[in-house]
Chains A and B, each alone.
Chain A
């Protein structure tokens, strides 16, 4: 018997398990972001907590592997599927009504997510974790996460790019969530519709959670509790941080 991971279902299992992992990670990530809605000091405490200690680094490494597997197998599967489909295309195509648009465009949506991820790593992860690792000097220290959020998200192109990213994520998750459960075989006639509904709920909650933070900082209304930090754009942020308890 050949290895399970050489089979089509085995490869899909890798997609599914890495997908489940990413789905859980997103939920966690969203919860952390929401802290910034209320309090800059609390958010900065989270930034400090998830700085350069072994558990945060280990978590990041595992996460990177999760992404890597998901993305590599996304391309492997897509290449195989295009080959299985063949080069002859139908002259007339009429998509059946109940086929989700997202389900047929998962790679494109994934690619948008990947580009967004590049942007995100360069601007947040680099700033909050990598800078601390190499002890680089920046405008804001790695634990001044809230100030960085205020400064960075008040730039319109950045905020818009994040919203586009989140919309692509919604579509990817609205299909991916139930697809991953179908792939591991945890589905039947009754649960099919339930999981599909749960997928929309999950995608909506997570994406709203992310979008609220982006919009709230773009319009400079966050953090709600110690707002002195967010009023300040780039120039006075450091001063502000001294003034309130953001340190």
Chain B
């Protein structure tokens, strides 16, 4: 049976990067609890379009928790309250009938608002371009036994690699720090022999870019880890610190 709820939305509306924004209140009736959160916003936008009003702009793409496009600060949490869940994986059954839901964009100097709920996250792309890759030619895939990797290392590398670059970490951080993201991207490679070759250069280049773009200094509050939809651990931040300090000391 399809259960439905009535909800009130308080949505941040902002015409452009330089414009002053404000909250707009919308009432939605008969929202199916089987809907995803983004389908609920689609429903809102259909109603707005039907009334010849501007639809709410928000980011989304895969809608299955792998691309990192969706964002939204929902009732005080990036990607909503549920842990290990992206906004696109959030469902309306998690909300009560009559509930007021406040939806805000990421608010951090590193992620300026483009319009409504959409922010510019290209800063993360720039950090990746600074060194978040391997450039060695490793040829065709070799026999797995030729390059044994301890299982714990492989597991930790995979966990770090689950970062989807959504930006919730910096959005949740009182210091506007991007350290969880950068540490995940450094760790996924630093833990594997293929990535070790350029490890020192990578750590230095990515941290330099992160600083240059004005992200804050991590004080280990752990809000990022708590809000990360992929549960990336701050143990990666310790590894990044280690990799970076080692690389700098060697210079």
The answer to whether A and B interact is: yes
B237 engages A90 (CB within 8 Å): no
Measured between C-beta atoms, what is the minimum distance from B148 to chain A in Å? 21
The reply to whether the CB of B84 lies closer than 8 angstroms to some CB of chain A is no
The reply to whether the CB of B204 lies closer than 8 angstroms to some CB of chain A is yes
Residues of A142-195 whose CB lies within 8 A of B: 175, 178-179, 182-189, 192
Residues of B193-251 whose CB lies within 8 A of A: 204, 207-208, 210-211, 214-223, 226-227, 233-235, 237-246, 248-249, 251
The reply to whether the CB of A77 lies closer than 8 angstroms to some CB of chain B is yes
Measured between C-beta atoms, what is the minimum distance from A5 to chain B in Å? 10
- Contacts A92-B102, A94-B75, A104-B221 given; does A86 touch B107 at CB 8 Å: yes
Complex CA–CA separation, A2 to B209 (angstroms): 12
The reply to whether the CB of A236 lies closer than 8 angstroms to some CB of chain B is no
A182 engages B102 (CB within 8 Å): no
B251 engages A1 (CB within 8 Å): yes
| Closest B residue, CB atoms, query A103 | B221
The reply to whether the CB of B108 lies closer than 8 angstroms to some CB of chain A is yes
B219 engages A81 (CB within 8 Å): yes
- Of the listed residues A10, A77, A86, the one surrounded by the most CB atoms of chain B closer than 10 A to its CB is A86
B251 cross-chain contacts in A, Cβ below 8 A: 1
Give the B interface residue count (CB, 8 A): 54
B214 cross-chain contacts in A, Cβ below 8 A: 83-84
Complex CA–CA separation, A89 to B174 (angstroms): 10
- Contacts A96-B223, A96-B226 given; does A9 touch B104 at CB 8 Å: no
| Closest A residue, CB atoms, query B174 | A104
B222 engages A84 (CB within 8 Å): no
A188 cross-chain contacts in B, Cβ below 8 A: 235, 238-239
A175 cross-chain contacts in B, Cβ below 8 A: 220
- Contacts A84-B215, A85-B175, A189-B156 given; does A184 touch B220 at CB 8 Å: no
Residues of A5-38 whose CB lies within 8 A of B: 7-13
The reply to whether the CB of B67 lies closer than 8 angstroms to some CB of chain A is no
Give the A interface residue count (CB, 8 A): 45
Complex CA–CA separation, A202 to B215 (angstroms): 32
> A52-86 CB contact bits vs B (8 Å, 1 = yes)?
00000000000000000000000001001101111
The reply to whether the CB of A136 lies closer than 8 angstroms to some CB of chain B is no
Complex CA–CA separation, A7 to B205 (angstroms): 11
Complex CA–CA separation, A98 to B23 (angstroms): 29
A92 engages B75 (CB within 8 Å): yes
B245 engages A185 (CB within 8 Å): yes
B219 engages A103 (CB within 8 Å): yes
A84 engages B110 (CB within 8 Å): yes
A184 engages B241 (CB within 8 Å): yes
The reply to whether the CB of B181 lies closer than 8 angstroms to some CB of chain A is no
The reply to whether the CB of B76 lies closer than 8 angstroms to some CB of chain A is yes
- Contacts A96-B227, A188-B239 given; does A103 touch B220 at CB 8 Å: yes
Residues of B65-107 whose CB lies within 8 A of A: 73, 75-77, 81, 102, 104, 107
A85 engages B234 (CB within 8 Å): no
- Contacts A9-B241, A103-B219 given; does A189 touch B233 at CB 8 Å: yes
The reply to whether the CB of B177 lies closer than 8 angstroms to some CB of chain A is yes
The reply to whether the CB of A50 lies closer than 8 angstroms to some CB of chain B is no
B248 engages A10 (CB within 8 Å): yes
A192 cross-chain contacts in B, Cβ below 8 A: 233-235, 238
The reply to whether the CB of A99 lies closer than 8 angstroms to some CB of chain B is yes
B108 engages A85 (CB within 8 Å): yes
Measured between C-beta atoms, what is the minimum distance from B126 to chain A in Å? 15
B108 engages A86 (CB within 8 Å): yes
B227 cross-chain contacts in A, Cβ below 8 A: 96
On A, residues with C-beta under 8 Å from B are: 1-2, 4, 7-13, 77, 80-81, 83-86, 88-100, 103-104, 106, 175, 178-179, 182-189, 192
Q: List 19 contacting pairs A-B, 8 Å CB cutoff, sorted by A.
A: A4-B245, A4-B249, A8-B207, A8-B210, A9-B244, A83-B216, A84-B175, A85-B174, A94-B77, A97-B226, A99-B221, A99-B226, A103-B221, A182-B241, A184-B245, A185-B241, A185-B242, A185-B246, A187-B235
Closest 7 pairs (CB-CB, A-B): A185-B242, A84-B176, A84-B216, A94-B76, A96-B226, A86-B109, A187-B238
